[in-house]
Structure 1
Amino acid sequence: MKTESVKSGAQTQTLTTVECWVSDNGAGIPEDRLTVIFDKLETDPEKEGE
């Protein structure tokens, strides 16, 4: 059985810039959702009431 994991971090680049990252070993984002994933108020259409 594969154990799922999520890793995240942040690093200061300059006095006004921070680099943030997230990685996981999940199924990934479906290709048809990639163009809208960062749109304001975008949500998972399969989640209800959240």
Structure 2
Amino acid sequence: MSFDKAGTLTLGRPLVTSVVTVDETVTADEALSLAASGELTRGTLSPKRSSR
């Protein structure tokens, strides 16, 4: 455990406690999947295509 400069106590590992989507056609699971993929295009929910 550690404290950051603002005094927030952390355990050193991120934890998602809730997911709220603005677009009702996207489920929380879909949003998490897109975020975890690292393929999100800024400002959209469309995965970007890689030329690799």
Give me the TM-score of the superposition, normalised by structure 2.
0.27
* RCO comparison, higher one (Cα < 8 Å, 6+): 1
> Which protein has the bigger strand share?
1
Give me the TM-score of the superposition, normalised by structure 1.
0.28
> Which protein has the bigger helix share?
2
